[in-house]
Amino acid sequence: MAYSIQEAKELVVEAGKKLLETGLIARTWGNVSARISDTQFVITPSGRAYETLTPDDIVVVNIADCSYEGDIKPSSEKGVHADAYRLRPEENFVIHTHQIKASVVGAAGKNIEAIPEKYAALFGDCVPVADYGMPSTSKLRNAVAKAYEDYPKSKAILMKQHGAVVTGRSFEEAFEVVSELENLCEEKIQQAYKMYEGTAYYSRTAMLNSYIKAVGNGKMPKTIADLGESARIGSKFEIYFKNGKTFTVDIKTGKSATEEKLPAAVLVHSEIYKNSDVDYIKHLTANEIIAVSIAQKSIAPRLDDFAQIAGTKIGSFKWDGSKASGKAAAKALKGNNAVLVSGAGAGALCTGTKLGDLDAVELIMSRECQTIIGSTFFGSGDTLSPIDANIMRIIYQTKYSKKAE
């Protein structure tokens, strides 16, 4: 049964906040809608933060042609939602996410089959992967619509290199589907690792070391150097370390006004600030990022939002404590917002002109690295075409990121 318009708007607002709380979406990524009749639904607006949404921000959209009421622009993926309501008249709630585990499995490009019995009521005997299309395009919409039609028993569709979309008869069921999809995908990732290694046992550390061995040399380090995080303040920057020490450094000279001895990591930050307009830098040391930095010298995007937010090809530099390696970091960051770090400071550096941008790069860097690792064990998964990656990067930088401000 469709919702009243006011109830639908309130539930969509509630859903956005709940998705943030559970970590299934971040920033303005993803979108949520609810059916209000056989001909209309309401959906989240384009590019607005979920934390501050009110029912008045939620947009009424016509299923037949995606036209909408009012001056607020609806989500650019409104067509994906319209097709769900058109092709599945029993469904009344739709959620599109970029959730981590579903993104990892979807990027491998293989349907999830042999669904465990505990998930069968929600997913039938298969969770399909819709063919890739750039965000907000008819190619993506048509691919998802085909999956809706071909797999009517599955309430979840993986969107190759883009995320997932789920449907439910109600707000509550849609949330059950989106949560159980993440659990199912985590099980499939672990199963892929165990099959790859021919073992009955799984641990995260063992999987990371297996990945490093498969594509590079070495193993997960016991310790890594702390390259710190920093913020530009006029002609200076403040840099913070995990041991609690903080230093204020002149960007031009790379020195502290107090003449105190500075950690060598200051050189990296100083060179990056000298050669770019970023205002924030952070050393990322999540285990999946460390593993990729040890095994690979560069990253070509597998997820479309990684291309948008981090860059179209992420390089690396070796940190050895020298000014030359600081210059190498600054050079590798030209045109990108992330760079892999090899050597003593394994992991990655990310940059942003706003704290929100920095957080976004950190989130997508972790998800991309998990996707790279997962693709190794699934034995499949493509990188984006350079043309698609560059188009999305340009659109994000010139339009979407400004809208998000």
358 in the same domain as 238:
yes
Look at residue 27 in the predicted model and tell me its pLDDT: 64
Does residue 161 belong to any structural domain of this protein? yes
Q: How large is the greatest C-alpha to C-alpha distance in the chain, in angstroms?
A: 71
Look at residue 400 in the predicted model and tell me its pLDDT: 60
318-342 tens-digit pLDDT:
999 898 999 999 999 999 999 999 9
Q: Answer with the one of 186, 212, 238 that is the final residue of a domain.
A: 186
Q: Which domain holds residue 298?
A: 229-404
85-108 tens-digit pLDDT:
999 999 999 999 999 999 999 999
Specify the number of domains making up the chain.
2
113 in the same domain as 21:
yes
267 in the same domain as 326:
yes
Does residue 214 belong to any structural domain of this protein? no
Report the C-alpha gap between 9 and 20 in whole angstroms: 17
Look at residue 25 in the predicted model and tell me its pLDDT: 66
Look at residue 343 in the predicted model and tell me its pLDDT: 84
* First CA to last CA distance, the chain: 37
118-146 tens-digit pLDDT:
999 999 999 999 999 998 899 999 999 99
227-253 tens-digit pLDDT:
999 999 999 999 999 999 999 999 998
Residues of the chain with pLDDT under 70: 1, 24-28, 259, 399-405
Q: Match 């209000």 to its residue by tokens.
A: 36
Residue 115's alpha-carbon distances to 125, 128, 135, 147, 177, in angstroms, are 5, 11, 28, 17, 14
Report the C-alpha gap between 361 and 141 in whole angstroms: 26
Give the strand pairing for 59-62 and 40-43. Answer: antiparallel
104 in the same domain as 239:
no
What is the SS3 assignment for 283?
Answer: strand
Q: Answer with the one of 186, 217, 251 that is the final residue of a domain.
A: 186
Does residue 255 belong to any structural domain of this protein? yes
Look at residue 295 in the predicted model and tell me its pLDDT: 94
Q: What is the pTM of this model?
A: 0.93
Task: Write the CATH number for 353.
Answer: 3.40.225.10
